[in-house]
Amino acid sequence: MIVDYHMHLRNGSEEVAHDTWSVDPFVAAARAAGVDEIGFTEHVYYFTQTRSLWTVPYQTERCLYDLDAYVDAVVQARERGQPVKLGLEVDYVPGREDETRKLLAPYPWDYLLGSVHFVDGFGVDGEPKLLDEVGVEEAWSRYFETLAAAARSGLFDSLSHPDLVKIFGERAAAFDYAEVADAIAQTGIAVEVSTAGLRKPVEEIYPSSAFLEMIVDAGNPIALSSDAHTTDQLGYRYDDALRLMADHSVTELAVFDRLERRLEAIG
Ligand SMILES: [Zn+2]
Ligand SMILES: [Zn+2]
Task: Using the mean position of ligand 2's atoms as its centre, give its distance from the Cα of residue 81 in Å.
Answer: 24
| Ligand with smallest separation from the Cα of 228 | 2
Give the number of whichever ligand sits closest to the CA of residue 117: 1
Residue 12 confidence class, pLDDT cut points 50, 70, 90: confident
Residue of 209, 238, 204, 243 lying closest to 224 (CA atoms): 238
Please give the average per-residue pLDDT across 40-51, as a whole number. 98
- To the question of domain 3-265 being in CATH 2.40.110.10, the answer is no
Distance 93 CA to ligand 1 centre (A): 14
Q: Where are the domains of the chain?
A: 3-265
Q: What is the pLDDT of residues 62-82, one digit of tens each?
A: 999 999 999 999 999 999 999
Cα of 262 from ligand 2 centre, angstroms: 22
Please state, for a pLDDT cut of 70, what percent of the chain lies above it.
100
What pLDDT is stored for residue 154 in this prediction? 98
pLDDT at 143 over 90: yes
When pLDDT is cut at 50, 70 and 90, the band that residue 136 belongs to is very high
- The mean predicted confidence, pLDDT, of the chain is 97
Residue-level pLDDT at 128: 94
Q: How far is the CA of 240 from the centre of ligand 2 (A)?
A: 19
Rounded distance from Cα 206 to ligand 1 centre (Å) = 11
pTM equals 0.98
Rounded distance from Cα 161 to ligand 2 centre (Å): 8
- Residue 87's beta-bridge partner residues? 41, 111
Distance (angstroms) between ligand 1 centre and the Cα of 237 equals 18
Of the ligands numbered here, which is closest to the C-alpha atom of 160? 1
Distance (angstroms) between ligand 1 centre and the Cα of 24 equals: 23
Q: How many angstroms does the Cα of residue 167 sit away from the middle of ligand 2? A: 14
Q: What is the pLDDT of residue 191?
A: 98
Rounded distance, CA 140 to CA 91, Å? Answer: 18
DSSP state of 16: B
Question: Are the C-beta atoms of 222 and 216 separated by less than 8 Å?
Answer: yes
Ligand that lies nearest to the alpha carbon of residue 4, given by its number in the listed order:
2
Per-residue pLDDT tens for 178-191?
A: 999 999 999 999 99
* Non-local CB neighbours of 101 within 8 Å, separated by 6+ positions: 155
Which pLDDT band holds residue 252 (cuts at 50, 70, 90)? very high
Q: Is 199 exposed, middle or buried (0-12, 13-18, 19+ CB in 10 A)?
A: middle
